[in-house]
Amino acid sequence: MSVKVVIAGVSGRMGHALLEGVLADADLQLYGALDRTDSPQIGQDAGAQLGKNTGVIIISDVAAALKGADVLVDFTRPEASLDYLKACKQAQVKYVIGTTGFTVEQKATIAKAAKEIAIVFAPNMSVGVTLLIDLVEQAAKVLNEGYDIEVVEMHHRHKVDAPSGTALRLGEAAAAGLGQDLKDCAIYAREGVTGEREAGKIGFATLRGGDVVGDHTVVFAGIGERVEITHKASSRATFALGALRAAKFLQHKTVGLFDMRDVLKLS
């Protein structure tokens, strides 16, 4: 039986990629399509942007869209995602969250909700990035003395949060490899006379511009050598396919908070 999927923000960049992914997968059924109330796409067929007739009309009524659905897939904004979270709890619908930029308190709200419904929550749904996170933690364990760690990321000009959720997750992985907590060793900005770099710190550099989908590099800079671990996304399809893989993963889950490491059986 196919998984009945509802897509949030269906007319956006990620929504478009998710729509293509669902329609191309025989194990998935496009069940609902959501967009904000003021979207000009409201009332149109969800497939119109692809030149297809799906029979699913884009609406803003979350409760109506979720009725009878299996899973909601969401790459929108934190405030909208928290509203979707409440609706998913009420409808007992599973939830895949690819949204980034949540506060610590908002993440705690998601974790609490996972006691009632099954949720996959990850700052990056890419299979490659999930592997990258594991590699960074392992590298930090080995390069734990005499190497400075810097996380460099670049995204398109429309991205609203910085550093990216993926960059922060990579920083957490590096800190874990060092046996530290990221909040105790992160440096997010440098300006003016900063003094020499302190050992054991993890630095972040954020670049924004153009239409860059997402580039992330973790640099381990030692004396006489530098190790760089990089992932570059050339299409949003990689995030969409990972998210839809997560939707299938939730098919047989009832409650719990999972990430892409669980989906890929790396944990």
As annotated, the active-site residues are: 155, 159
Query: Residue 196 corresponds to which tokens in the numbers above?
Result: 């020499």
| Among the listed residues 202, 209, 204, 163, the one whose alpha carbon sits nearest the alpha carbon of residue 185 | 202
CB 69 within 8 A of CB 32: yes
Q: What angle do CA 207, 208, 214 make, to 5 degrees?
A: 85
Is 125:171 a contact under the CB 8 Å cutoff?
Answer: no
Contact between residue 43 and residue 17 where contact means Cβ atoms under 8 Å apart: no
Task: Report yes or no: 261 and 134 within 8 Å, Cβ to Cβ.
Answer: yes
**Cis (ω within 30 of 0) for the bond into 78?**
no
First-to-last CA distance in the chain?
Answer: 27
One-letter identity of residue 17: A
Cα separation of 55 and 60, whole Å?
16
